[in-house]
Amino acid sequence: MTLELSHLNRRFAGFSALDEVSLSIAPGEFLALLGPSGSGKTTLLRILAGLDYPDSGSVLKGEEDFLATPARERRIGMVFQHYALFRHLTVTENIAFGLRVRPWRTRPSRAKIHERVDRLLARVQLDGLGGRYPTQLSGGQRQRVALARALAVEPDLLLLDEPFGALDALVRVSLRRWLRELHEELKLTTVFVTHDQEEALELADRVAVMNQGRIEQVDTPEVIYHQPATPFVCEFIGKVNKFGVRRHAGGLAAGAWVCEGDPWPERYNAAWAYVRPEQLRLAVPPAQPAWDAWLRHIYLAGSVAHLDLHVPSLDQSLEADVASEDLARLGLQAGMRLRVAPRSAVLFAQDAGGHTVERERWIWHAQDRVHA
């Protein structure tokens, strides 16, 4: 059943953790709450879990008032950031906890509990470790015990708070692929909180980007990445080059580069342009408008090379990304001169006072596609 969150507000002493947050969560979807620390994402998750309550607003699950339901009756499974395993109980006892505390009328028999725990242990690939205590497990194993414990109560909604935050990079990547597969299999509505954009974009069906207690944009990872709704989303997701453009005879221009077309004739004379590093063309033919740039340094980071380009006419540096194997093909070397221009950009208008008008967004693409 769809979870409908509307106009949630939550204030802590002096700051607003949630500010008019509305969101609907479809059954079976995998939703990421992504934002920097203090953006309210964990508060939102805790409200769903029944561990915190909003000052105003409502959460409806179909007809049911979710906020009036106590945490233990919400049919949720929660995985905490630091796992919150019961360290005095074995892995088996941890997983069985949610079943054992049920009133005897709804509690499964010992044999049934045993059977379900065994099945969950197999599912999270911890067969044979049921007798261990949490202190005897590695971080990734503890994480999976926490997940099995949450799944044991057969929840309708799975909540994960920074599920991979405390793990090292290698375990993190393999565990999140595994979690995605598990989700495909169980089709369980899942909400997870993360500050890691790569994690959110890779795992989730939809991503809600949060900032200062508000949801800036909710959409699929592709749309979030390619059509960011606000300047914050542009800057928070992925890497981005930012520069100002002003109105000239031919359109909005920065230095020698002009972007054709004009969404705001006579209304705004300036805008901020955001260009992704992989959207910079590096060898633009002389006939087309471009900046003269000086390649200051090449940072080789495995499969990708980051180029540090200085553009005198903008008086700033831009970053461009190319595949490392293209370095030789393009004959790139530190110190050389290049003609550089964006392939696409996201622009936000600036009013006469220099303030960004967040509602006025324009996504611009170069009209003639030339391989560079």
Partner 1 sequence: MSILRQRVLPGFGLSLGYALTYLSLIVLLPLAALAWKAVGMGASGWLQLLSAPRTLAALRLSLGGAVLAASINAVIGLLVGWVLVRYRFPGRRVFDALVDLPFALPTAVAGIALTTLYAPQGWLGRWLEPLGIQVAYTPLGVLVAMVFVGFPFVVRTLQPVLASLERDVEEAAESLGARRWQTFFRVILPLLAPTLLTGFALALARAVGEYGSVIFIAGNIPGRSEIAPLLIVQKLEQFDYAGAAALGAAMLLLSFVLLVLVALLQRWSQRWAESSR
DSSP state of 109: P
**Nearest distance from C-beta of residue 99 to partner 1, angstroms:** 9
Site residues for partner 1, window 147-176 (CB under 8 A)?
Answer: 149-150, 153
Q: Does 298 bind partner 1 (CB under 8 A)?
A: no
> Could you give the C-alpha distances from 317 to 195, 297, 303, in angstroms and in order?
27, 11, 22
Identity (one letter) of the amino acid at 203? L
Choice from 35, 50, 57, 231 touching partner 1 (CB under 8 A): 50
Choice from 135, 335, 355, 371 touching partner 1 (CB under 8 A): 135
Is the backbone of residue 287 left (phi > 0), alpha (psi -120 to 50) or beta? alpha
Identity (one letter) of the amino acid at 326? D
- Nearer to partner 1 among residue 97 and residue 294 (C-beta): 97
- List the alpha helices (DSSP H) in 192-294: 197-203, 221-226, 231-236
CA atoms within 13 A on the CB side of 65: 5
Q: Does 88 bind partner 1 (CB under 8 A)?
A: yes
Site residues for partner 1, window 184-213 (CB under 8 A)?
Answer: none
Rounded Cα distance, 334 and 350, in Å: 35
Which residue carries 């063309």 as its tokens? 281
- Nearer to partner 1 among residue 101 and residue 122 (C-beta): 101
**Nearest distance from C-beta of residue 111 to partner 1, angstroms:** 20
Stretch that binds partner 1, among 145-153, 192-200, 222-230, 302-310 (CB under 8 A): 145-153
Identity (one letter) of the amino acid at 334? A
Stretch that binds partner 1, among 37-45, 84-92, 270-278, 302-310 (CB under 8 A): 84-92
- List the alpha helices (DSSP H) in 214-309: 221-226, 231-236
Considering CB under 8 A, how many residues would be counted as binding partner 1? Answer: 30
Closest CA to 361 of 227, 208, 206, 267: 227
Question: Rg for the chain (alpha carbons), in Å?
Answer: 25
Site residues for partner 1, window 218-257 (CB under 8 A)?
Answer: none
Site residues for partner 1, window 91-130 (CB under 8 A)?
Answer: 97-98, 101-102
Q: Does 72 bind partner 1 (CB under 8 A)?
A: yes
Choice from 12, 15, 53, 86 touching partner 1 (CB under 8 A): 86
| Positions in the binding site for partner 1 (CB under 8 A) | 49-51, 71-74, 76-78, 80-82, 84-90, 97-98, 101-102, 133, 135-136, 149-150, 153
